[in-house]
Structure 1
């Protein structure tokens, strides 16, 4: 029995640590009427029974009695929190007054009491007690050992210059909104996880950021406030828990359809992960069939990715949404809205004014006010309780936000002076003489890096960057479930999932190739036709060159060229293929991008006016002799 109980308890502990509280209780429930004889197993069972009760799972009356009966030296911080949850002040007092209580435990008790009061909306009493969390046990460590915590004074004029970012991304954003609203810390030093650095660089551009990993002896004794305490000071000043401030505004890209973000799981074992969870297949069943959705789930499982990939309505970002919060915010800003359980997505959407359908769990976070409504923090939110959520509610909200999205003004392309951010991108149908066009541009000094060499089908070379084609373009197509060769299957034609790191990846590739940024660079690939939206987002001031060639000549070349003819030698196969490419090129033409058209037949016949405007736009010097030499056949 002891060995069997030990195995069960180990599995239960694993489930509890993973936030699967219901699974944990299902495992331990048969052991509760007759606890194991082994003292260690009996203690583990009691701990898990109380832990489940902390999340309102199991027989709460039985857990209340157990909590009252156990010696006060056991698990005091956790049991004190449970005592308050179960409204047992007598046990809470016994635990709090035990002679062995340490100072850290006292701060834990204060923090727990503060949270309890915040949950009860007793903010004026709760915030001062909650400020003791820097030294609490059941709270993530917030103040690095090298630094000294300084309570936030009532007078901002007495603030220290250093602020520590604490807790998860949603909390950090909520706290930063209060810091920004005060307007007194634009040049402060912020300290926190490295991944939060982009937030400070974006929204506090005059401030400095110090990741935990870069703290050294020179920072010993650095005095700092906790960012979360600005919420309490903001409440004392305004009577509001939320800060009336936004970080960004919604966007709408020309030519793209509306897309809604989705998130079906939030939180952790410490904040009711099960309450903030809807099984993905059930979640997808709630969504309308006539809309497109972008997954914003930070911890997506391989199984979930497979489910989403099989659903034509859904897209998965081509980047890790947890890696860089600013890039995730940039994904959210063009969305028509976000449908999500309580997660950081609420804050990212809310602080950008993007409509939010907030699926509220039963035990709502104190952020959301006494009536548990996300609107209390973010006016763009619409709250719906999880227990009443159904397809009708979502469909109505989708219809409303679709209209609002259509009314948004189209985003203006930013002016970019940096020549490294204004590449020349050459595309068109395969076998439409894109190589010849790029050959002329390269002859005038356009930097390409190492390119694919010539062969029998293209003896003068392809003038196509091997590292970008093979290391970036083909993997992007594969990641979207398309043919990496761009022939047998294509990615969606109307909208592609975001890939925020694309420009950064290309920059790294160019540097490895030796590009120094002193002149313009370019890339040519017919497959850009399939990916133009991604490259247009990465380089909104790119110079696009669409190469046209007589359709009959294109079809003939496709049927005769070995690497294309292996797919088919019939024009009947290639005609719809060309139509699919042409459709996407027309979308590019209507996108507002800077586009030049080159008639390949005219150019090959010596009409240099086809290429001169491109050379001028790239900042290169046109030379007729150079162009003719590049066009000459060997």
Structure 2
């Protein structure tokens, strides 16, 4: 028994409940509910004032709503309390605990407000949808715009318009409501109707990317950007299209796909993983498997990409320590279209109920759907994700075992191998066709880039020279320090690319890379009209990420006699601080060379430049690079670029 005052316990319990930690909430209030030795309960309860007793009753009922605690005791308490207390919550609990008499008493209370009545209708609608009684459930669920125990759906600058049965009478504006998974499911039904390709959608700012990609003729306005004034435009709620679609087709399943899966040349299969879903209001504890337990379910020979939207620092450290795991190089909550682009090449997604099911399902990427006990109504009365997305395989969370995961992965591995390989996207835009120069450190990449720069290749603000490289490094400072090094650090490896290296077979996705680079170029003054380039030996380690963002890039791999490279590594101060032994640098060079060989075999446009030949005045390898970049080769400029200033 804790020595904390009951009021303090209750305050902590309420905080836990609001955060979705229902089990923690119940553990805190249990001593006050009678889970004590004989005689202790009376002493504890006698210390409770009227306000604390009321709070305790509320928390007990709220826990019961999530099937936590003594449900029989909660049912009796719910029936005994006066009907003027917490009517929406208690009505929902009455239906959940199959107590129609208490539900009826709450409905008939003379003090029931219009909003409470709409809340009752919404709750009853959800109850019927869970039972698969869609014909009665959807009309009641349509009252949620005015419900209390439901997220606000209609912005203050719009007026709710019920969705008519006749689509020709629809309003032009549609409100994207609820979470990302819900929005995707609703949009699939709207797209299937085929009548709103050019409509006006309103929602959270991040949903604008979905509309721009999948409804390219439509308009989108973020909630915060809605204009004021009167009269307020009328708008439909997106979820109501699911009900109308059911009445038209007899099915609730997502009726269309948004995209298709693919695979990339030379990369192994990778599976997405998500071990926690939902929020405090929709069974977050049920949709959670502790990460270390989740990783224990996964085969030793697989590669896994974390798709967890709220990853903690502790979880990130656990994943970085597991060689099987990759972490995206971007915030996957900001742009759902980019997150779907991350999912499309995956061999499958292993996940608890989350938006990942919808993103994968709408791209026909296989899903191992770990179903929680109280499933969302999307998944039908039998709680099977296949009812909405045929590419899903449902396994109840209570039955999940490592052998189930391994068998499913074996099947999806075979299917992944049969996918079409993604073609390289061609683009006429100069900003998407950079010249990317790389090679082993100390292989004369700086001299090579100096030659390109002197022929007109735009580089921006570059790292100045020093004793080891007096003519400069010709590396864009902002890209190197603000993008390349953070990418390596985010993978848990040495940002200098020496003491520890990222995986050579597959790297995590980083969809915003091109935008980040474009921002750095603009800051440096690039106007988008000149060919540009970036040089860094560490591109050898990150070439997959840059290749995904710049599939039409011109790659230059600078080569040099291996003995000369190792000798320079041993003598150059910023490399020699790691080691002055050739034995240290030999495997290092092999590691870089192996990655460069994979770049050559990837299908990217690659030019090899022998720096020994170049420094001797042989321009036969650099000239094609200059011309491929849209620049004019000038022998005099090339000769001048080789002149070393006298020190």
Q: Would you call these one fold, judging by a TM-score over 0.5?
A: yes
Deviates more, 1:557-566 or 1:222-231: 557-566
Output one character per residue of 1:576-608: Cα deviation in whole Å (capped at 9) or x when no partner: 111000000011111111111111111111111
Q: Which residue of 2 aligns with 1:22?
A: 23
Aligned mates of 1:243, 1:572 — CA distance in 2? 59
Output one character per residue of 1:298-345: Cα deviation in whole Å (capped at 9) or x when no partner: 111111111111111111111111121111111111111000011100
**Where do 1:166-565 residues align within 5 Å?**
166-218=177-229, 221-565=232-576
Aligned mates of 2:563, 2:69 — CA distance in 1? 74
Q: Which residue of 2 aligns with 1:56?
A: 67
Aligned to 1:578, which of 582, 589, 600?
589
Aligned mates of 1:228, 1:517 — CA distance in 2? 43
Aligned mates of 1:244, 1:25 — CA distance in 2? 41
Aligned mates of 1:220, 1:502 — CA distance in 2? 43
Q: Secondary structure, in 3 states, of the residue corresponding to 1:507? A: helix
TM-score by length of 2: 0.96
CA contact (8 A) 1:2 1:38 kept: no
Aligned mates of 2:168, 2:316 — CA distance in 1? 50
Aligned mates of 1:103, 1:559 — CA distance in 2? 80
Q: Secondary structure, in 3 states, of the residue corresponding to 2:492? A: coil
Q: Which residue of 2 aligns with 1:589?
A: 600
Gaps of 5+ in 2: 35-40
Deviates more, 1:485-494 or 1:337-346: 485-494
CA contact (8 A) 1:146 1:220 kept: no
What is the CA-CA distance between 1:467 and the residue it aligns to?
1.1
Aligned to 1:114, which of 120, 125, 128?
125
What is the CA-CA distance between 1:219 and the residue it aligns to?
7.3
What is the CA-CA distance between 1:399 and the residue it aligns to?
0.7
What is the CA-CA distance between 1:216 and the residue it aligns to?
2.0
Aligned mates of 2:15, 2:249 — CA distance in 1? 44
Q: Which residue of 1 aligns with 2:37?
A: none
Aligned mates of 1:83, 1:484 — CA distance in 2? 57
CA contact (8 A) 2:26 2:63 kept: yes
What is the CA-CA distance between 1:243 and the residue it aligns to?
2.5
CA contact (8 A) 1:2 1:37 kept: no
Aligned mates of 1:226, 1:178 — CA distance in 2? 12
Aligned mates of 1:47, 1:32 — CA distance in 2? 12
Aligned mates of 1:220, 1:586 — CA distance in 2? 65
Aligned mates of 1:610, 1:603 — CA distance in 2? 8
What is the CA-CA distance between 1:383 and the residue it aligns to?
0.7
CA contact (8 A) 2:6 2:48 kept: no
CA contact (8 A) 1:234 1:243 kept: no
What is the CA-CA distance between 1:450 and the residue it aligns to?
0.9
Deviates more, 1:82-91 or 1:228-237: 82-91
What is the CA-CA distance between 1:218 and the residue it aligns to?
4.6
Q: Which residue of 1 aligns with 2:147?
A: 136
TM-score by length of 1: 0.98
CA contact (8 A) 2:254 2:389 kept: no
Aligned mates of 1:466, 1:395 — CA distance in 2? 45
Q: Which residue of 2 aligns with 1:94?
A: 105
Aligned mates of 1:451, 1:243 — CA distance in 2? 51
Aligned mates of 2:48, 2:561 — CA distance in 1? 86
RMSD between aligned residues: 1.3
Q: Number of residue pairs matched? A: 634
Q: Which residue of 1 aligns with 2:13?
A: 12
Aligned mates of 1:246, 1:219 — CA distance in 2? 38
Deviates more, 1:132-141 or 1:20-29: 20-29
What is the CA-CA distance between 1:3 and the residue it aligns to?
7.1
Aligned mates of 1:287, 1:620 — CA distance in 2? 51
Aligned mates of 1:409, 1:68 — CA distance in 2? 60
Output one character per residue of 1:471-495: Cα deviation in whole Å (capped at 9) or x when no partner: 1111111111211111111111111
Q: Which residue of 2 aligns with 1:157?
A: 168
Aligned mates of 2:164, 2:32 — CA distance in 1? 51
Aligned mates of 1:318, 1:218 — CA distance in 2? 42
CA contact (8 A) 1:81 1:109 kept: yes
Aligned to 1:126, which of 128, 137, 157?
137
What is the CA-CA distance between 1:26 and the residue it aligns to?
1.5
CA contact (8 A) 2:273 2:306 kept: yes
**Where do 1:74-89 residues align within 5 Å?**
74-89=85-100
Q: Secondary structure, in 3 states, of the residue corresponding to 1:270? A: coil
CA contact (8 A) 1:294 1:315 kept: yes
Aligned mates of 2:338, 2:544 — CA distance in 1? 16
Output one character per residue of 1:263-292: Cα deviation in whole Å (capped at 9) or x when no partner: 111112211111111111111111100101
Aligned to 2:623, which of 601, 605, 612?
612
Q: Secondary structure, in 3 states, of the residue corresponding to 2:369? A: strand
Q: Which residue of 2 aligns with 1:629?
A: 640
Q: Secondary structure, in 3 states, of the residue corresponding to 1:612? A: helix
What is the CA-CA distance between 1:172 and the residue it aligns to?
0.5
Output one character per residue of 1:363-392: Cα deviation in whole Å (capped at 9) or x when no partner: 111101122111111111111111111011
Change (3 A) 1:534 1:218: farther
Q: Secondary structure, in 3 states, of the residue corresponding to 1:217? A: coil
Aligned mates of 2:641, 2:219 — CA distance in 1? 51
What is the CA-CA distance between 1:403 and the residue it aligns to?
1.0
Q: Secondary structure, in 3 states, of the residue corresponding to 2:5? A: helix
What is the CA-CA distance between 1:2 and the residue it aligns to?
11
Aligned mates of 1:595, 1:2 — CA distance in 2? 71
